[in-house]
């Protein structure tokens, strides 16, 4: 857990001084995500790819969570020594997890619908290009957050996990897009991959919901039990 100074800059996080404040790091990641949304939506529509559109929906949910996280951090830093100073952080994490769960359910429904319809054609090239860009953006966000984010607080941990998970999912989508491009077929890979992404999102969301509820109930949250 971080200890904030009077200017809102955490003095130490997990025994190490952070390179940037939480607000600055979250704001940078937010800007990266906002810039990425347009590309994902355009590429998803052009490629007719539900997995790319799923990534876009996940990114939109992440942006809402990041904005809420900025508000939560500001509220906490107004009085960091207050007994309930971490409550806004837990609420932000809970909302983040709920949004992710909604995205996972929506993607699952759409993917199952496409599978039942026989998997319509998908353009592989836009999938590959936008997915590789997404990998770079997400890894950049994870680098900005830093390894210390995993042990700072519940919200910072959730943002870091999201960035790493999104990078992994984007890499998988790029591979699937490459296979579709080379074979000019195997379109079922797209909805199947979307199902896989939604399962990963749902698992992460449920874990965050459990931890956020525990934090709201006043329990200590272990950041290293995953």
Read off the CATH number of the domain in which 199 is found: 1.20.1510
pLDDT of residue 136: 92
CB 103 within 8 A of CB 54: yes
**pTM summary value:** 0.66
pLDDT tens across the length of the chain (226 residues):
333 333 444 444 443 334 457 788 888 889 999 988 988 888 888 888 887 887 887 788 778 778 877 877 777 777 666 666 667 777 777 887 887 788 788 878 878 887 887 777 888 888 888 889 989 999 998 888 877 776 666 667 778 877 887 888 788 888 888 888 888 878 888 888 888 878 877 887 787 788 778 877 766 654 434 4
CB 164 within 8 A of CB 138: yes
pLDDT of residue 222: 47
Residue 221 lies in a domain: no
Residue 5 lies in a domain: no
Q: How far from chain centre, in Å, is Cα 51?
A: 15
Residue 3 lies in a domain: no
Q: Which residues of 172-193 are buried (b: 16+ CB within 10 A; e: fewer)?
A: bbbebbbebeeeeeebebbbbb
DSSP state of 80: T
DSSP state of 151: G
State the total domains in the chain: 1
Residue 111 lies in a domain: yes
Structure tokens that stand for 44 in this block: 């998803």
CA distance 94 to 98: 6
CB 56 within 8 A of CB 62: no
CB 177 within 8 A of CB 128: yes
Residue 170 lies in a domain: yes
Q: Where are the alpha helices (DSSP H) in the chain?
A: 22-47, 50-78, 87-116, 124-145, 154-183, 189-216
CA distance 82 to 189: 51
CA distance 47 to 176: 12
Helix (H) or strand (E) holding 222: none
> 10-12 and 3-4 as β-strands: parallel, antiparallel, unpaired?
antiparallel
Q: Is 96 exposed, middle or buried (0-12, 13-18, 19+ CB in 10 A)?
A: buried
Q: How far from chain centre, in Å, is Cα 5?
A: 28
Residue 222 lies in a domain: no
Q: Label residue 17 left, alpha or beta by phi (over 0 means left) and psi (-120 to 50 means alpha).
A: beta
pLDDT of residue 1: 35
pLDDT of residue 15: 38
- Which residue segment(s) compose the domain that 171 sits in? 18-216
């Amino acid at each position: 857990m971080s200890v904030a100074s009077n200017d809102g800059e955490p003095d130490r996080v997990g025994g190490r001084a952070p390179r940037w404040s939480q607000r600055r790091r979250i704001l940078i990641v937010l800007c990266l995500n906002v810039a990425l949304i347009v590309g994902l939506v355009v590429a998803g529509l052009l490629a007719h790819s539900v997995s790319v559109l799923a990534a876009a929906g996940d990114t939109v949910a992440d942006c809402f969570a990041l904005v809420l996280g900025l508000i939560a951090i500001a509220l906490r830093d107004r009085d960091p020594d207050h007994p309930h100073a971490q409550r806004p952080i837990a609420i932000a994490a809970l909302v983040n997890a709920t949004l992710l769960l909604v995205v996972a359910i929506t993607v699952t429904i759409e993917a199952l619908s496409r599978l039942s319809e026989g998997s319509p054609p998908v353009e592989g090239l836009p999938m590959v290009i936008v997915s590789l860009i997404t990998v770079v953006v997400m890894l950049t966000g994870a680098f900005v957050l830093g390894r210390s984010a995993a042990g700072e607080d519940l919200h910072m941990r959730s943002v870091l996990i999201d960035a790493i998970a999104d990078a992994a999912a984007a890499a998988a989508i790029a591979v699937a897009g490459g296979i579709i491009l080379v074979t000019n077929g195997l379109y079922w890979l797209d909805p199947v991959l979307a199902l896989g992404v939604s399962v990963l999102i749902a698992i992460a969301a449920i874990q965050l919901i459990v931890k956020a509820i525990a934090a709201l109930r006043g329990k200590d949250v272990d950041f290293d039990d995953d």
